[in-house]
Amino acid sequence: MIQKTPLYETHLAAGAKLVDFAGWQMPIHYGSQIEEHHAVRRDAGMFDVSHMLAIDLSGGEAKAFLRRLLANDVAKLTIPGKALYSCMLNEAGGVLDDLIVYFFSDTRYRLVVNAGTAEKDLAWMRLVAADFAVSLKPRRDLAMIAVQGPQSRERFWTAFPASRAATVLLSPFQAVEWQVEGVCWLIARTGYTGEDGFEIGLPAEQAAHVWQRLAAAGIKPCGLGARDTLRLEAGMNLYGQDMDESVTPLEAGLAWTVDWKDAARDFLGKAALQAQRQRQDLRQLLGLVLLERGVLRAHQKVETRHGRGEITSGTFSPTLNRSIALARLPAGVAVGEEVEVDIRDKRCRARVTKPVFVRNGKSLLQENV
């Protein structure tokens, strides 16, 4: 059955075009996805991300459990509220999901996972948790709203002035549990756009009211269409598209999220990654910029001097006004090289770049080509 977020009626009333995404009825845009994209790069936009699942973890062995479950190491989290991005791997090193974990104490954390993998993730976590004194509590009672853009924090504070004192000193990837009128909001300085902003987890029944307050403060509602072009410009992977169980973090541009420092730590997938690490022929996730007119799309083939690769995500970049992509390319392909992409049986020239195109409103093309 198709699921609806607590903001479903709000989206309908705002004239959103709704689509099925990972089993959820979600807004793809509210008119123009390009305008929504620009709003986030230039001012402030907001996204309903309530389809994602928050899972609260508690128990005496919570830290040990996460050090086993995740390829990144939660031991580096020492300041309450600090967040960490990590992959969760199977024994073969394949990516089951990517997620954010928020640290409150060694016995209490929150994980936020993708919508499409939520049930699979929970089942996997429960299996691993059997060996640990922990409890996992899925929080379907929460809504999540992301406000993103250079003016998003100011506009959020305009809408909720009382939150300013609690959140003004948050550094990037830090969150705070804000107590307001007897309920708790998790306000995190995180996001999926390459811009500053907050992601807020709050009781579902407050979502519609909060959304209206944020809109009144000048934050533009944005759909999944803009979310996709923003994350792709920012070089952030989309689970199920740029990575899945058939690839490891080392082949998905996420080697930096695998923490090897504590040699004694035995995380799931470690043995497989260790073997892979020795190899010189690993595929790599890199960026492409199309040098001709057209639009790069997922699954188009890429011809390089080192063999054939494939685009995993491609789109038109509203910020750069040209087409960009993430592509899985053979070992040996280097940034700056020219390659050819097969677009409807035509060979089109593209340049290999680092897999990040825009950050904080600015093009990185000059430095990354």
Partner 1 sequence: MNIPADLKYTASHEWIRVEADGSLSVGITDHAQAALGDIVFLELPEPGRTLAANEACAVVESVKAASDIYAPVAGEVVAKNEAAIDAPEKVNQDPYGTWLFKLKPADPAELEGLLDAAAYAQAAAA
CB of 37 to partner 1, least distance (A): 8
- Taking the least distance from each CB to partner 1, the nearer of 200 and 348 is 348
CB of 233 to partner 1, least distance (A): 12
| Residue linked to tokens 């040990």 | 64
Smallest Cα–Cα separation from 101: which of 335, 259, 297? 259
Rounded to whole angstroms, the Cα distance separating 151 from 196 reads 8
Which amino acid, 1? M
- Taking the least distance from each CB to partner 1, the nearer of 33 and 248 is 33
In degrees, rounded to 5, the angle at the alpha carbon of residue 114 between the alpha carbons of residues 37 and 204 is 80
DSSP 3-state of 51: coil
Rounded to whole angstroms, the Cα distance separating 80 from 340 reads 48
Rounded to whole angstroms, the Cα distance separating 276 from 279 reads 5
Residues 198-257, interacting with partner 1 (CB under 8 A) = 225, 229
- What is the rounded end-to-end Cα distance, in angstroms, of the chain? 45
Contact mark string toward partner 1, 257..296, x via CB under 8 A: ------------------------------------xxx-
Smallest Cα–Cα separation from 113: which of 293, 240, 289, 300? 240
- Taking the least distance from each CB to partner 1, the nearer of 34 and 272 is 34
- Taking the least distance from each CB to partner 1, the nearer of 85 and 316 is 316
CB of 46 to partner 1, least distance (A): 19
Residues 293-312, interacting with partner 1 (CB under 8 A) = 293-295, 297
Number of residues that bind partner 1 (CB under 8 A): 17
Residues in the chain: 369
Residues 339-368, interacting with partner 1 (CB under 8 A) = 344
Q: Do residues 40 and 149 touch, judged by C-beta distance below 8 A? A: yes
CB of 28 to partner 1, least distance (A): 7
Helices vs. strands in the chain: H and E counts, helices first? 10, 22
CB of 359 to partner 1, least distance (A): 20
CB of 16 to partner 1, least distance (A): 12
Q: Does 14 bind partner 1 (CB under 8 A)?
A: no
Residues 33-52, interacting with partner 1 (CB under 8 A) = 33-34
Smallest Cα–Cα separation from 268: which of 103, 108, 88, 145? 88
Contact mark string toward partner 1, 117..156, x via CB under 8 A: ----------------------------------------
- Taking the least distance from each CB to partner 1, the nearer of 279 and 293 is 293
Q: Do residues 124 and 268 touch, judged by C-beta distance below 8 A? A: no
Burial of 138 (0-12, 13-18, 19+ CB in 10 A): middle
| Residue linked to tokens 């709003």 | 39
- Taking the least distance from each CB to partner 1, the nearer of 176 and 343 is 343
What tokens does 256 get? 């930096």
Contact mark string toward partner 1, 315..344, x via CB under 8 A: xx-x----x--------------------x
- Taking the least distance from each CB to partner 1, the nearer of 157 and 316 is 316
- Taking the least distance from each CB to partner 1, the nearer of 93 and 235 is 235
**In the chain, which ranges are continuous DSSP H helix?**
8-13, 33-42, 62-69, 118-129, 152-159, 164-167, 207-216, 224-233, 270-277, 365-368
Rounded to whole angstroms, the Cα distance separating 153 from 208 reads 19
CB of 295 to partner 1, least distance (A): 5
CB of 237 to partner 1, least distance (A): 19
Contact residues toward partner 1 (CB under 8 A) are 17, 28-29, 32-34, 225, 229, 293-295, 297, 315-316, 318, 323, 344
